[in-house]
């Protein structure tokens, strides 16, 4: 069964008093695209998370967000005490040389570049953080994939309705195409007989048959109808057998539209044209819907 590209998943975990929360949202995209937002303390995991997302998802834009809660200041940032002390000493010497008296606001000094920097966990802490984040990320992905599968089921049901509507109109076209040729022959006979009535001439049956044969060859849509029917069967089978068939379904729908356009260009019958219009409306809906199939 096909999957939708729209989904949402979340998961949480705790480590040393810090809560980690992962949110993953996906929307449709022709290709695979990731947007990963990580706090500085977990920035070293970006490549691992990217790999995890690619192993679980094939298409779509993936928004991944990791948030921290109740994290201690020590675990979030470090202060370069040596650099701060050096600045304080220089400022103190400069003040003494100038003979000035005043106070130094340490808070303002913290805004200087390089004084405050993201905390870098040691090897043991980094391994624990990695294990936790990858675990809750997988939990969020499993939840997201369940949602994408559920929406994919609804999407497949809607696509099935569209295919059924196309098949009904194809049946009408088949039944009508057999009548069109006879109607053309009768209409041609009446028209020619009317034109030749005053000349007291009679239409040659062989000539009529030849003209009808030319019309039949020019307006024959049996091959296009057969191919369109085959495309529908392939489309329905693909919806049932594959969970990553979005690109294939998109290609098949283009071929379906191509056959429908050919039928419309070949046929001059009003009823067949009406059926083709209905078919093309359903194909347009299919093409719109498969854009959200993974």
Q: Is the pLDDT score of 85 beyond 80?
A: no
Residue pLDDT, tens place only, 17-62:
888 999 999 999 988 999 999 987 888 899 999 999 999 998 899 9
When the pLDDT of each residue in the chain is averaged and rounded to a whole number, the result is: 80
pTM: 0.69
Query: Residues 220, 224, 230, CA angle at the centre, nearest 5°?
Result: 145
- Hey, what are 30's tokens? 């022709």
The pLDDT confidence band at residue 74, using thresholds 50, 70 and 90, is: very low
> In the chain, where are the structural domains located?
7-74+121-149, 81-109, 151-290
For 198, phi then psi, to 5°, come to -70, -25
Measured distance CA(88)–CA(94) in Å, rounded: 10
Pairing of β 60-69 and β 32-37: parallel
CATH architecture for segment(s) 7-74+121-149 = 2-Layer Sandwich (3.30)
- pLDDT over 90, % of the chain: 41
Contact 147, 7 (CB under 8 A): yes
């Amino acid at each position: 069964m096909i999957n939708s590209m729209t989904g949402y998943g979340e998961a949480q975990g705790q480590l040393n008093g810090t809560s980690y929360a992962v949110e993953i949202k996906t929307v449709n995209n022709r290709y695979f695209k990731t947007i990963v937002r990580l706090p500085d303390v977990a920035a070293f995991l970006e490549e691992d998370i990217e790999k995890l997302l690619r192993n679980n998802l094939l298409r779509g834009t993936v928004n991944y967000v990791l948030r921290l809660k109740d994290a201690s200041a020590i675990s979030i940032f470090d202060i370069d005490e040596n650099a701060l002390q050096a600045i304080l000493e220089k400022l103190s010497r400069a003040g003494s040389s100038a003979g000035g008296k005043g106070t130094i606001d340490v808070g303002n000094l913290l805004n200087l570049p390089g004084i405050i920097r993201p905390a870098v966990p040691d090897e043991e802490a980094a391994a624990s953080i990695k294990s936790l984040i990858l675990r809750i990320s997988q939990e969020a992905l499993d939840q997201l994939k369940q949602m994408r599968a559920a929406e994919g089921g609804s999407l497949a049901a809607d696509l099935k309705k569209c295919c059924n509507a196309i098949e009904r109109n194809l049946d009408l076209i088949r039944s009508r195409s057999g009548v069109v040729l006879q109607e053309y022959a009768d209409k041609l006979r009446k028209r020619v007989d009317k034109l030749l009535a005053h000349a007291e001439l009679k239409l040659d049956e062989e000539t009529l048959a030849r003209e009808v044969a030319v019309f039949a060859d020019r307006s024959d849509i049996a091959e296009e109808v057969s191919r369109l029917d085959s495309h529908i069967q392939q489309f329905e089978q693909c919806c049932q057998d594959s969970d990553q068939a979005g690109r294939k379904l998109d290609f098949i729908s283009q071929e379906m539209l191509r056959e429908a356009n050919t039928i419309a260009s070949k046929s001059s019958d009003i009823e067949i044209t009406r059926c083709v219009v209905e078919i093309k409306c359903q194909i347009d809906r299919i093409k719109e819907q498969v854009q959200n199939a993974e």
